[in-house]
Amino acid sequence: MIRSADTRRTVSGNSRKKAGADAFKEFDASQLYCPRCKRAVPVRKRLLLVLSEGDKYEYLCTFCSESVGTKIDRKAKPSTIIR
Helices (H), the chain: 13-23
pLDDT at site 27: 79
pLDDT in tens, the chain (83 residues): 455 454 444 445 555 555 666 666 777 889 999 999 999 999 999 999 988 888 999 999 999 999 999 999 887 565 677 77
How far apart, in whole angstroms, are the C-alpha atoms of residue 78 and residue 63? Answer: 33
In sequence order, the 6+-apart residues with CB closer than 8 A to the CB of 28 are 45, 71
Say if pTM beats, i.e. exceeds, 0.95: no
How far apart, in whole angstroms, are the C-alpha atoms of residue 46 and residue 24? Answer: 22
Q: Which amino acid is at 53?
A: E
Q: Using the Cα atoms of residue 47, residue 51, residue 55 and residue 56 in order, give the sign of their dihedral.
A: negative
